[in-house]
Amino acid sequence: MLRPVTLFTGQWADLTFDTLCAKAKSFGYDGVEIACWGDHFEVDKALSDDTYIRSRHDILEKHGLKVFAVSAHLVGQCVCDDPIDERHKGILPSRIWGDGNPEGIRQRAAEEMKNTARAAAEFGVKVVNGFTGSKIWAALAMFPPVPPAMIDAGYKDFADRWNPILDVFEKEGVKFALEVHPSEIAYDFWTTKRTLEAVNRRPAFGINFDPSHLYWQMIDPVAFVYEYADRIYHVHVKESLRNLDGRNGILGSHLFFGDHRRGWDFVSPGRGGVPFERIFRALNDVNYAGPLSVEWEDNGMNRDQGAPEALALVRRLDLTPSTVAFDAAFASKN
């Protein structure tokens, strides 16, 4: 059976949830992965208003859509980040930003993530995707020289801040899936390994697998699937391309997305270099049966063109595993 294909609503949060759901249905999607911003899924209302969760279900049912995950990337980013600055103010609700004191923001963000687990459970959703932030991302260049103890402290800070959050996830029967992504505590193959070790590989913490962030770093996303198979709790279909012409580098050059001088960029699925068919075959091999969620990002393309095109790509490339070996028919019956 083919996996359900959903649309991540994060890049559509300028639209009301009802309007977005109508679009997703018109495109042909099976469901949505709902962002915890805009009016799509508001955690505080989900826990304080007895009618709110029913209102979300009513909209989904009206449009014939399912939900398999909610996503709390923006608040999750602020649990561990250091420094906390104007970038974070731009993505946080004012009730989380408060007076702008960095540690206060981290503590309120952590409480919001706990509440997100509670709200997801009330909503009937078993996976919350998101970011963690990182105390040590600023040390990426490893210069000035970074003492090993500083890196160790970064992973300890992550574990100290996220283990109490994960306690609530476990209690609620919900899993947190980190999108392995630059600026997070896990951003590539080896940092993912160390991040899982930092929380003793507890089952409440896993991965929202997004191959686009691996591809532009020149990491094989197929190898990643096989290595971390038991931790892939959700999958994003997102695309990137590399534009390395001898002048452009993979660090981005402080150029904004969509600038032709960038060494990599996000594009509509099928228009970059991510090997989606090989990835889908690998997901079959490791028995991933969850949704394939299109996270659509492309500054050079209209999203109303790109989202249905991305859906068509997934429908064409996702494969139902065979139940027989093709060469079994060669066997002699005599």
Q: What is the DSSP string of 14-71?
A: TS-HHHHHHHHHHHT-SEEEEESSTTS--HHHHHH-TTHHHHHHHHHHHTT-EEEEEE
How many Å from the N-terminal Cα to the C-terminal Cα in the chain? 34
pLDDT band at 319 (very low <50, low <70, confident <90, very high): confident
pLDDT reported for residue 334: 63
Residue 108 pLDDT = 98
Structure tokens at 202: 């507890």
The b/e string for 11-24 (b: 16+ C-beta within 10 A; e otherwise) is: bbbeeebbebbbbb
Is the pTM for the entire model greater than 0.85? yes
Cα 235 from Cα 217, distance rounded (Å): 18
Judged against a pLDDT cut of 70, whether residue 1 lies above it is answered with no
Give the structural domain span for 294.
5-330
- 182-238 pLDDT, tens digit each: 999 999 999 999 999 999 999 999 999 999 999 999 999 999 999 999 999 999 999
Reported as type and span, the H/E element at residue 321 is none
Q: What is the mean pLDDT of residues 138-164?
A: 97
Find tokens 């952590």 and name the residue. Answer: 110
What CATH number does residue 91 fall under? 3.20.20.150
**Domain count of the chain?**
1
- Residue 167 phi/psi, 5-degree rounding, is -60, -40
User: So what's the pLDDT on residue 330?
Assistant: 75
